[in-house]
Structure 1
Amino acid sequence: MTLFWIILTCVAGGLINLFFATLIAKKANNHFVENMVSLAVGTLLGAVFLEILPHAFEISNDYEQTTLVVLIGILIFFILEKLLIWRHCHGSHCEAHSSNDHLERNKKGGLILIGDLFHNMVDGILITSAFLVDLNLGLVTALAIFAHEIPQEMGNFSVLLHSGLSRMKAYLFILITSLSILFGAVLAYFILDKLQHFIPTILALAASSMIYVSISDLIPGLHKKTSAKDSVLQVLLIIFGASIIFIIHHYVH
């Protein structure tokens, strides 16, 4: 039954992300994208501090080791991003958008695909590790991950079009990368089911990845809007995103 929920969640999330990414990339303005990023920050941080870390602490009973893994994970993701392996791109404010050279744009598009495939496979592993602990934790973790995937895939879709791909090929590549999360999830199910003692470590890595994405990638983009109206809206959306996780944590469990 757990495997069923893992597959259903990953497939549904991948298809929903594809739908929103392509629809929004064609029709939505930048303001809507920025609102989605604010919401993603709330869901990511809410999932980390209300669900994922508490479960990791409960399973491991070793707070020091768990927090050490979180710290090491943040450092690892920083190094990976420096190597251009772990690249999140949201909206138009992205290094991948900065060059007008056609060859450079093709290279950027390729890096986006490679990075997104790797990133989504890791997300699948994180989702599975959460489902193996608790159904509610799995759903909350998946919700948080897919919430930040929507603005990311919107950015990736724009980069692929900018690199010279046709709209149909860009759709296809986004679909493949979106569903690569399923491959990582199913693979993790058959491996982690026999290695339960690694689950607290993976949950800690999941927390570190979400913290890193929120702090290093999403929040800096929000600071580009400095008006009082935009700032208040951002705070409200972050609170709303965290509130969704809070409600699920307290009333759905």
Structure 2
Amino acid sequence: MDLLLYIIIFTAIGGVLSVLAAGIFLLLPEPHRNRILPHGISFAIGALLTVSFWGLIPHAFEEAKPDQLQSLSGTILIGILLFFILEKLLIWRHCHSHSCEAHLDDGHDHHDHSHGRRSTGVLIILGDSMHNFVDGVLIAAAFLTDTHLGIVTSLAVAAHEIPQEVGDFAILLESGYSKGKALFYNILASLTTVIGGVLAYFSLEDLHDLLPYFLTLAASSFIYIAVADLIPSLHKKTDIKTSLEQIALILAGVLLIFSLHGLAHDIEIDGPSVAASH
């Protein structure tokens, strides 16, 4: 089979398959989903932060050239600031001609909060798209090294994406998206895996130089979402039982991503490094 066709098929598996597997969450009856959603938010915090600090950022610095290290740190800072500005612009747009303070003064703070949550959904889709694009580059690089390595890498990517995608569905539903739209936008974001793989096939060497910046931008988006949007929502309930549940689920997200990431991280690091030298 042609190598490009392999890359297209397995980047689709690595991206779309993980979304469809996580989409089983959407099949649950609405009362069950509503009970699970707050727990999914806590889990998503642990997953997003672990993907960022244990996977994306270390990977970016390992792939970077020595003269890129300082600029990569700056990219994380700039990325967080850019996502703050983007979210602010999204909220302003949804407020239309009324200021958010006016909504609060008139007792309509639910309008502001709902659009603030929707902006979080937009950010998670953008961050996921960048992350998936990088996954596509990594899968293609592995295939260019060895076909079997490419297959294993795509399956590893799908495996460590599934728990993160479950968290993403929880965030999108909490942000006001319907089940259909949450699934549609997540699948759309997953298709950037295929785009990354195809572009890498034709110009891997050029993309390899930009790879660390894609990784740090994806990380900055996930960090911003977890810290600025999701963590504050957990402070609305302060009773001991709920707080302990939140902590436990955050740790569960950390541990699951940590354990699943081990194999994928080792394979992905080896793949691009060898392929880039071809």
Corresponding residue of 1:147:
166
What CA distance in whole angstroms lies between the structure 2 residues aligned with 1:66 and 1:41? 23
Contact 1:192–1:199, Cα closer than 8 Å, also in 2? no
What CA distance in whole angstroms lies between the structure 2 residues aligned with 1:236 and 1:6? 33
Q: TM-score, normalised by structure 2?
A: 0.67
1:97 deviates by 8.9
Corresponding residue of 1:197:
209
Candidates 43, 54, 60, aligned match of 1:56: 60
Distance 1:36 1:141, change over 3 A: same
Candidates 9, 18, 33, aligned match of 2:14: 9
1:145 deviates by 4.1
1:176 deviates by 2.6
1:122 deviates by 5.1
Q: Are 1:128 and 2:140 matched, yes or no?
A: no
Task: Map 1:37-116 onto structure 2 (within 5 A).
Answer: 37-61=41-65, 62-84=68-90, 98-99=110-111, 112=118
What CA distance in whole angstroms lies between the structure 2 residues aligned with 1:69 and 1:146? 25
Candidates 232, 243, 263, aligned match of 1:231: 243
| Unaligned stretches of 5+ residues in structure 2 | 1-5, 94-103, 140-152, 267-278
Residue type of the alignment partner of 1:84: L
- 2:236 aligns to what SS in structure 1? coil
Q: Are 1:176 and 2:188 matched, yes or no?
A: no
- 2:90 aligns to what SS in structure 1? coil
1:208 deviates by 0.2
Contact 1:22–1:154, Cα closer than 8 Å, also in 2? no
Distance 1:55 1:244, change over 3 A: same
| Unaligned stretches of 5+ residues in structure 1 | 88-94, 100-104, 161-169
What CA distance in whole angstroms lies between the structure 2 residues aligned with 1:21 and 1:2? 29
- What RMSD over aligned residues (CA atoms) do the two structures have, in Å? 3.5
Give the total of aligned pairs: 225
Instruction: Say which is worse superposed, 48-57 or 242-251, in terms of deviation.
Output: 242-251
Corresponding residue of 1:217:
229
| Larger proportion of helix | 2
1:66 deviates by 1.2
Instruction: Say which is worse superposed, 131-140 or 231-240, in terms of deviation.
Output: 131-140
What CA distance in whole angstroms lies between the structure 2 residues aligned with 1:227 and 1:125? 37
Distance 1:221 1:215, change over 3 A: same
Residue type of the alignment partner of 2:174: G
Distance 1:213 1:22, change over 3 A: farther
Q: TM-score, normalised by structure 1?
A: 0.73
1:148 deviates by 2.7
- % identical aligned pairs: 28
